[in-house]
Amino acid sequence: MHSTSFALKDVEHIFNSVYQDIDGYALSRQGKNRLKNNNKALIYGEVTLTALAAILHDLPIQAQHRIFYDLGSGTGKAVVGAALLGSFERVVGIELVEELAATARQLAQRLPPRFPPQARNHRQIVLEFHHGDFRDYNFSDGDVIFIQSTCYDAALMHELAQKLLHQKLGSLIITVSQSLIVPHLRVLKTQKCVMGWGTVSVYIHEKI
């Protein structure tokens, strides 16, 4: 079963109107200056709706896949995109930089209470944006986990891999630019996608 059963164009205008006046890169710079934190993991970059649609379209989504997480969610583009494109019941973003997490929370208010009839999600969906370090969160209820991991170092990837030990069997973990090589995750597929900053490899893992 595919998670996107309708054209991207049906939801593109909603997505674009939510983000039309938002500069996530500037918000990220502002937050990092305030925190005086130059950690490489905080380097900002955004998923495009087209890339997310391509990723979700090809995922082996099952009926039990109901909860989507983005670990390091920025202004929430992956979370909002998953809400619009997917068949999830709950979509959750966790973001360390307060300026980004707060903006994502405000932007969620711009979404229509119900998505258009052509969207699969023609119903209420729970959107949550948390401000904090995803390493401190329990996301073991997540069925699909998205991680824009291009700038995450080996230590952070290792910590993530350990936390992902607690995911349900059959849950799907998406990483960008680098895969997770551990016995409890199997890479199902690799695909090329165009993100805000260029073409990257995307890895789809299954929890085994």
Instruction: List residues binding ligand SAM (CB under 6 A).
Output: 28, 41-42, 44-47, 70, 72-74, 77-78, 94-97, 100, 133-135, 148
Q: Nearest approach, Cβ of 5 to ligand SAM (angstroms)? A: 23
Report the alpha-carbon distance of residue 149 to residue 62 in Å, rounded.
24
Residues facing 147 on adjacent strands: 175
> Which is closer to ligand SAM, CB of 73 or CB of 179?
73
How would you class 109 by CB atoms within 10 Å of its CB: exposed for 0-12, middle for 13-18, buried for 19 or more?
Answer: exposed
Report the alpha-carbon distance of residue 118 to residue 78 in Å, rounded.
20
Report the alpha-carbon distance of residue 208 to residue 60 in Å, rounded.
14
Q: Nearest approach, Cβ of 99 to ligand SAM (angstroms)? A: 10
Q: Nearest approach, Cβ of 169 to ligand SAM (angstroms)? A: 25
Q: Nearest approach, Cβ of 143 to ligand SAM (angstroms)? A: 17
> Which is closer to ligand SAM, CB of 74 or CB of 142?
74
> Which is closer to ligand SAM, CB of 34 or CB of 186?
34
> Which is closer to ligand SAM, CB of 23 or CB of 118?
23
CB 99 within 8 A of CB 30: yes
Residues facing 131 on adjacent strands: 95
User: Among all residues, whose Cβ is closest to ligand SAM?
Assistant: 72
HSE, side-chain direction, 13 A CA sphere, residue 116: 12
Q: Nearest approach, Cβ of 105 to ligand SAM (angstroms)? A: 14
> Which is closer to ligand SAM, CB of 48 or CB of 184?
48
